[in-house]
Homo-oligomer: A and B are copies of this chain.
Amino acid sequence: MALSYIPPIRDMQFVLHEMYGAVDALAQLPPYAELDRDTFNAVLEEAGKFAAEVVAPTNAVGDLQGCTLDVASHSVKTPDGFKEAYRQYIEAGWPALAADPAYGGQGLPFVLNQSCYEMLNSANQAWTMYPGLSHGAYEALHAHGSDALKQRYLPKLTSGEWTGTMCLTEPHCGTDLGLLRTKAEPQADGSYRITGNKIFISAGEHDLAENIVHLVLARLPDAPAGSKGISLFVVSKFRLNDDGSLGERNPVFCTGLEHKMGIHGNATAQLAFDGAIGHLVGEPHRGLAAMFVMMNGARLGVGNQSLGLTEIAFQNALAYAKERLQMRSLSGPKAPEQPADPIIVHPDVRHQLLAAKAWAEGGRMLGSYCGLLLDQARSHPDEAARVAAAAQLALLTPVVKAFLTDNGLAATIGCQQVFGGHGYIHETGMEQLVRDARINLIYEGTNAVQALDLLGRKVMGDQGKALTQFGKTIAGWAADYAREPKMAEFLLPLQDLGERLTELTQAIAAKAQRNPEEIGVAAVDYLRVVGHLSFGWLWARAAQVAQAAIAAGSTDPFYSAKLETARFYFARLLPEVETAFRRLQANSASLMKTSHALA
């Protein structure tokens, strides 16, 4: 019994076209001036079809089989079907979708690529990480590589013939990359020999592609200690001949695969670099900055992974709740002709379903909003507009990563609960979603690291400018609808939340001046509040669009559903901020002055 999946094309179109007018907005960016809505929709349809028909069938088997390492040959076999699905993926040209036409890309916008990825993530997160990581490597090389490196690597990454990785973590350092020890020794020919051990390298070794392009953080001999002495290198599994063809095997070997809670289909590799030949990407000692090009995209991507899992969890739990008969409604039988009512009549089942739906659709709204910001930050003809978009995106990136993944874990757990005991059994597929979703709160910077990034760097670090600007954007939108009585149920709580957040931010800033630790004490709750401000705004926007459509005479039940979900969000999910605010008022000593309790 595999999970069923219907690509949420209608909702994507609602968000992109009806809420954001994405095609018109993108048309202001020179690369997308010619983009039309039909092309946009056709890509979504085709990607959805590919995800549902080609990728989804590999999900359960991938979880059961996992990847296997042949220690003697250092080769990794992916689960049955992965290779064939990947072959079809590159044959159809999907890796090139949002890549630079200069290297064979199709030059479509990031936000469209992201929507396609959402569907791939729903279908199989572990499989999708192989092309996903490639995209990260592509981005880093594209932004920081020399022309020579770009010419050598980008076309093959764009075609998908080669895949990529990000090699950051070592056994003793994850978050704290300043501690890393992998060495890079300059060679006479301008290359470097890389030596060291990396762990947790997603897609680090596999049989999907003929070559793997590792982006590796390492230290040059003259590197200063800490995070300012880290450089970025490209090291490919097979060295390249002068004509770009594959040469001899580079000594970067998979020495082990991790046994993980989930994403079994992705090879999480231990990689030993034994003097592998690599090339410097960007400036010496500036590797962390270069890597952050990948990391920021990757963080949006992790939020998108949980969005995909939330959507498919919702779809399957909804279907089950309509079929499974158990007990009667407290207000009397709803299906008297049956031996019991479908469990969808029960309030807690409805709560779990609506929560998953509201988290998924809200995540889609915020993710796509950020996707559009990224396209604007990259391609807007006006520099001020690019800078403004980049600032908003920087503010919201940790929110997308942490808020969507927190929500995704809660939603997959809630949807699993709808299945009762059957949700605990592998065959229904729900427990895999929980196990897969779990990693998203951890990798690419734990959610607590995201919270510190948001409050410490993105808010306090620029004296609240980006946050204030975000608030102005929300207030500006709200002002347009302030006189619509039907919008009051959404605008009043939104305004209230905005005011409380402003006060809160000032209060934390004042406390942090006395004790910088207050930032850390507040950060996680603070991120949840900012997440709700973002969702509250976007759910209000969605409700406005739905109301307008209904007022214009539409009888499409999609709009009624959207309004109901918006109301559910405001009534039953947004209240989470009450706990956060209460906790944020608490004395930090209750957390930090606890040396006996944590002795």
Contacts and interface: CB of A to CB of B under 8 A. Distances in A.
Contacts of A583: 571-572, 575
Interface in A259-303: 259-262
A519 interface: yes
A586 B489 CA distance: 12
A561 B331 contact: no
A437 B587 CA distance: 31
Interface in A536-593: 557, 560-562, 564-565, 567-568, 570-572, 575-579, 581-583, 586-593
Contacts of A562: 597
A258 B516 CA distance: 51
A340 interface: yes
A425 B259 contact: yes
Choose among A420, A434, A519, A521 the residue with the greatest number of B CB atoms under 10 Å from its CB: A420
A433 B590 CA distance: 27
A594 B564 contact: yes
A200 interface: yes
A244 interface: no
A153 B434 CA distance: 41
B579 A261 contact: no
A327 interface: yes
Interface stretch (A31-39, A113-121, A166-174, A369-377): A166-174
Given A329-B517, A442-B420, A571-B590, A425 B258 contact: yes
Interface string A169-187: 1001111101100000000
A464 interface: no
A94 to B, nearest CB: 28
- In order of increasing CB-CB distance, the 5 nearest A-B pairs are A571-B590, A348-B448, A575-B582, A578-B578, A347-B520
B564 A524 contact: no
Contacts of A582: 575, 578
B448 A261 contact: no
A417 B406 CA distance: 12
A409 B596 CA distance: 25
Contacts of A577: 579
A483 B590 CA distance: 24
A184 to B, nearest CB: 20
Contacts of A260: 424-426, 431
A261 B581 CA distance: 35
Interface in A294-336: 318, 321, 325-327, 329-331
A357 B226 CA distance: 34
Contacts of A448: 346, 348-349, 417
Given A575-B579, A579-B579, A598-B318, A591 B176 contact: no
Contacts of A598: 318, 321, 344, 350, 353-354, 357
Contacts of A200: 421
Given A417-B446, A420-B446, 6 more contacts: A260-B431, A321-B598, A348-B448, A354-B598, A435-B435, A575-B586
Contact of A597 (B347, B441, B564): B564
A599 interface: yes
Contacts of A447: 417
Contacts of A426: 258-261
Contacts of A349: 448
Interface in A344-362: 344, 346-351, 353-354, 357
A330 B516 contact: yes
Contacts of A478: none
A424 B426 CA distance: 18
A442 B421 contact: yes
Number of copies: 2
Given A331-B517, A583-B571, A427 B259 contact: yes
A424 B439 contact: yes
Contacts of A434: 261, 438
A377 B79 CA distance: 56
A40 interface: no
Contacts of A570: 590
Interface in A54-93: none
A339 B173 CA distance: 11
B172 A325 contact: yes
A588 B321 CA distance: 19
Given A179-B339, A261-B424, A426-B259, A590 B561 contact: no
A443 interface: yes
Nearest to A353: B598
A346 B472 CA distance: 33
A515 B589 CA distance: 45
A583 B427 CA distance: 34
A477 to B, nearest CB: 23
Given A176-B340, A339-B179, A420-B174, A347 B591 contact: yes
Given A175-B327, A424-B439, A426-B260, A586 B565 contact: no
Contacts of A220: none
Given A327-B175, A348-B523, A579-B579, A354 B424 contact: no
A404 interface: no
Interface string A193-216: 000000110000000000000000
A423 interface: yes
